[in-house]
Amino acid sequence: MSKNPVFQVDAFTDRPFSGNPAAVCLLDQEAEADWMQRVAAEMNLSETAFLVAWNDGFQLRWFTPTIEVPLCGHATLASSHVLWLEGKVPRDESIRFHTLSGLLTATLDGAMIELDFPAAPVMETDPPAGLLEALDVAPTFVGQSDYDMFVVVESERVVRELSPDFRKLAAVDCRGVMVSSISTDQAFDFVSRFFAPQSGIDEDPVTGSAHCSLGPYWGERLGKTSLTAFQASARGGVVRMRLDEDRVVLGGQAITVLRGDLLLD
């Protein structure tokens, strides 16, 4: 029986039991997708990342408990944290991830991990059937990215008090739904929440990939190229963004809360 290290990491936070937890599995060879999906279901976190050394970096894949996803920010942040913490990559070197969304890179700047991700522009659209009924909101803007629905509401209070009907929301054809507004706290530019019952997660605590859409939208609205956001889930988390044409650099911290071994026959 072989052993592969597995970690649980809280991402986009500097405190344990906040931010977004992800499992990170270090594999010594590529694994079958069905097996990774079953492991992710066993981990039962919003995302489980699987890493295997590949060419000049690492192959990285992400799974929710029910599906494989093409892009995940917090599990990439967690993976970077583990690779540097475990000495798999020197701390002064960047990490190259080969993924379904192309090449992604991570660099370490002090305690801050920075991820170079593709921007996911939002196009204004009519709300699909059932979306607003499921959220029970009157939006000021509705849009859609390649992955998600994008809803802007009038105030932070509306964002924080949202209580979606997840059964209805699961019927909306998208990966998930982000809802945001300008922040009333001067420490942050905007606040958001992210709901994804379609992907097996009613509410994701902190969604890095959603900020590939949120950052460009609010950057244009506010006339900024550097932003700081708070995802107002029960756990909460802070995401920093730097906009660079068709890329978004996501910044955050991470902390390991669990380490063990995944036992394989």
| Predicted pLDDT of residue 37 | 97
Radius of gyration of the chain, Cα coordinates, nearest whole angstrom: 18
Q: In the chain, what percentage of residues exceed pLDDT 90?
A: 96
Q: In the chain, what percentage of residues exceed pLDDT 70?
A: 99
Q: Which of 32, 47, 124, 133 is catalytic?
A: 47
| DSSP label at residue 234 | S
The closest alpha carbon to 156, from 202, 193, 107, 209, belongs to: 193
Is residue 164 helix, strand or coil?
coil
Q: What value does the mean pLDDT of the chain take?
A: 96
154 is catalytic: no
Q: How many CB atoms lie within 10 A of CB 57?
A: 19
Q: Which pLDDT band, with edges at 50, 70 and 90, does 52 fall under?
A: very high
pTM to 2 decimal places: 0.93
Question: For strand 190-196 and strand 237-244, is the pairing parallel, antiparallel, or unpaired?
Answer: unpaired
Q: Residues 98, 46, 81, 33: what is their CA dihedral angle, to the nearest 10 degrees?
A: -40
CB 260 within 8 A of CB 6: yes
| DSSP label at residue 239 | E
CB 85 within 8 A of CB 121: no
Average pLDDT over residues 1-17: 92
CB 231 within 8 A of CB 207: yes
CA angle 161, 163, 165 (to 5 degrees): 160
| Predicted pLDDT of residue 265 | 62
| Predicted pLDDT of residue 80 | 98
Q: Which pLDDT band, with edges at 50, 70 and 90, does 208 fall under?
A: very high
Segment 25-47, tens digit of pLDDT: 999 999 999 999 999 999 999 99
Question: For strand 95-99 and strand 57-63, is the pairing parallel, antiparallel, or unpaired?
Answer: parallel
| Phi, then psi, of 28 in degrees rounded to 5 | -95, -5
Segment 141-196, tens digit of pLDDT: 999 999 899 999 999 999 999 999 999 999 999 999 999 999 999 999 999 999 99
Average pLDDT over residues 48-73: 96
H-type helices in the chain, by residue range?
33-43, 73-85, 131-135, 156-161, 166-169, 211-222
Segment 217-246, tens digit of pLDDT: 999 999 999 999 999 999 999 999 999 999
| Predicted pLDDT of residue 2 | 74
Distance, CA of 113 to CA of 9 (rounded, Å): 13
Q: Which long-range contacts (CB under 8 A, 24 or more apart) does 129-132 make?
A: 130/168, 130/169, 130/171, 130/172, 131/169, 131/172, 131/177
Q: Which pLDDT band, with edges at 50, 70 and 90, does 264 fall under?
A: confident
